Amino acid sequence: MSDLPQAYLSQMRHLLGDEYQAFKEVYDRPFKNGLRINTLKTTQEEFQRINPFDLEPIPWTNSGFRFSSDPDREKPGRHPYHAAGLYYLQEPTAMLVAEVLDPKPGERVLDLAAAPGGKATHIAALMKNKGLLVANDIDPKRVWDLAENLERCGVRNAVITNERPQKLADFFGPFFDKILVDAPCSGEALFRKNPSSRDQWHPNLAKGCSRRQVRILESTSQMLKPNGRLVYTTCTFTPEENEGTIARFLKKHL
């Protein structure tokens, strides 16, 4: 808690008001990770029969659970079931995103910033491997992790691309029923899970991130069919990168 950037704490105090104290206390509690059953490889019932972990259901997705990192128990990340793709380890909050996107089997879906594939594997599972999932990421190294995770999870309806959003837009035009923009951001919500991310944070980061997010949305929205659904998400708290980015985008388009 003490090594959280002071400017970040002041920003959150201002943002949360009465709820700030409760928010701050979360950093002193043990971190609980999430596990999402991969329904492309197993079912809820089948997995519950063989499950060696202590799992607690997550209310906003049928396939998601929390688990504590108990040193005396087997670690889900090291278990052969993980290598076999029976589940994906994912932040519980991140499991909401594909549910909101609500991709259907047979649809054309774009995951614009997909690496390493947490949400793309969830999207493919909801699509039951039917239709087309274009999983893109601009980072040439991270697309290899994406490829590995899609393969491990048995995804067969995905094409991986490593392109700039505008280049994809020029190629595809208004082609997709659903698009996810899980945008690059200042990453404040990662401070708890990954304390080293605190060192990369700076109070002015949000402004530059927001400008980049609007540019990404500008290009990406050109690929949405009329009446399609575009979901925009970040893993940060700053209003500038969330409500602010969306407001700037909508100002041009409504």
Contact 186, 236 (CB under 8 A): yes
Output the smallest distance, CB 123 to ligand SAM, in A: 9
The yes or no reply on residue 118 touching ligand SAM (CB under 6 A) is: yes
Tell me the number of residues near ligand SAM by CB under 6 A: 19
C-alpha of 139 from chain center: 16
Q: Exposure of 171 by Cβ count < 10 A (0-12 exposed, 13-18 middle, 19+ buried)? A: exposed
Among 142, 150, 148, which Cα is nearest to 38's? Answer: 150
Contact 93, 26 (CB under 8 A): no
Closer of 103 and 118 to ligand SAM (Cβ): 118
Q: Three-state DSSP class for 139?
A: coil
For residues 169-228, which are near ligand SAM according to CB under 6 A? 182, 184, 216
The yes or no reply on residue 145 touching ligand SAM (CB under 6 A) is: no
The yes or no reply on residue 168 touching ligand SAM (CB under 6 A) is: no
The yes or no reply on residue 134 touching ligand SAM (CB under 6 A) is: no
Encoded amino acid at 114, one letter: A
Q: In degrees, to the nearest 5, what angle opens at C-alpha 191 toward C-alphas 77 and 200?
A: 110
- 209 in catalytic set: no
Closer of 86 and 95 to ligand SAM (Cβ): 95
The yes or no reply on residue 13 touching ligand SAM (CB under 6 A) is: no
Strand blocks (E) in 2-130 = 32-37, 56-57, 64-68, 87-89, 108-111
The yes or no reply on residue 64 touching ligand SAM (CB under 6 A) is: no
Output the smallest distance, CB 120 to ligand SAM, in A: 7
Closer of 79 and 212 to ligand SAM (Cβ): 212
By annotation, the residues acting in catalysis are 235
Under the rule (CB under 6 A), what is the footprint of ligand SAM?
94, 112-119, 136-139, 142, 165, 182, 184, 216, 235
